[in-house]
Amino acid sequence: MNPSRIILIVIAILGIIVLGSSAYTVRETEVVILTQFGRQIGTPVTESGLHWKLPFIQSVNRIEKRLLEWDGPVSEMPTEDKTYISVEAFARWRIHDPAIYFVSLRDERSAQSRLDDIIGSEIRIAVARHELIEIVRSDKARKMVDAVDKDFAGKAAELPKILRGRREIERDILKEAAPKVKSLGIELLDVRLKRVNYNTQVVERIHQRMISERLQIAQGYRSKGEGEALRITGKRDRDLREIESTAYRKVQEIQGAADAEATRIYAEAFNKSPQAVEFYGFVKTMETYKKILLGETSIVLSTDGDLFRLLKSAKPVAAETAPSSPIPARAAAPAAAPIAPVVP
């Protein structure tokens, strides 16, 4: 091979290497800072496209222009009411001044580490200044749903009042942390509390309190149901007594009307002649004897009374036909009070 051709090939290869080392591209989503021997050269390159630099001695450092995320680690911290909770937060940020950012932090890993320190510290301070309910509740205007009966649920149906709420606490954290990261060339856009959990040592105690509150609500429902059952039972008994009373009164009215009608019919039948009237008196007197002259009955009658009239007028029966046992009625002195005659 011709030596001159070899030299040309070597020169071409070197030219390609130098050209490749001299050219670089800038994308729309990034900023490029050139450094020479570790020191920044010129201003950051923000215009996208093809650019040139000195080969070999200048280096290209790419910095993101897009929004970046920060996910903080889970940290345990106490609240103002001495309740230990685990807090997990996140934030969104971007590089505001690439030159200051590059000098202060160099890369994103260092930036994430500084954000851990700054934002995590502000979160601890904010949590320590507020009670747990302020951190849990997002809005102080929140109200209890109407599904819970407040009459018997008691404190379990009431939301504790808060002064600020989680949203304002997050704004406080952002307000305090933003100036600190701005000196690093970073613009902090938003900070949010992603998750708030109880410490494992107090979770069981919290669960027991929740169970007791639910049992209180359940007992309230049971008491209300029992009261309603008693009210319904009382109304049922009252209505039943009223129906029975009305029915009894109706029965008595019907029986009274029937007795009156029967008496009228009897009176018409037995008042047609004097013999009928006398026969009716005899029949009623016999019925009265049947009712009062029982085996164990002892009565005192006046000989002048109408009830004893039939007994005085009765003829004696022969000794052989007399009953083995006499009538168990005994006549007494006339001074006894007379018994009124039976009137048909």
Interatomic CA distance for residues 242 and 145, integer angstroms: 43
Interatomic CA distance for residues 97 and 33, integer angstroms: 12
Tokens of 41: 């050269």
Best CA proximity match to 140, nearest among 164, 158, 159: 164
Q: Which residue has the tokens 């009042």?
A: 161
Interatomic CA distance for residues 135 and 125, integer angstroms: 12
**For the CA atoms of the chain, what is the radius of gyration?**
58
Tokens of 219: 């007992």
- Per domain, the residue ranges of the chain are 3-64, 68-198, 218-270, 274-331
Beta pairing, strands 330-331 & 300-301? parallel
Q: How many residues does the chain have?
A: 344
User: pLDDT per position in the chain (344 positions), as tens?
Assistant: 677 777 777 787 877 877 777 888 889 889 998 888 878 888 888 888 888 888 888 888 899 999 999 999 998 899 988 888 899 999 999 999 998 999 898 889 999 999 999 999 999 999 999 888 888 887 766 665 554 555 555 555 566 677 888 899 999 999 999 999 999 999 999 999 999 888 777 777 778 888 988 898 888 889 999 999 999 999 999 999 999 999 999 999 999 999 888 888 877 777 777 777 777 777 777 777 777 766 666 767 666 666 666 666 666 655 444 444 444 444 333 433 343 343 33
Is domain 68-198 classified as CATH 3.30.479.30?
yes
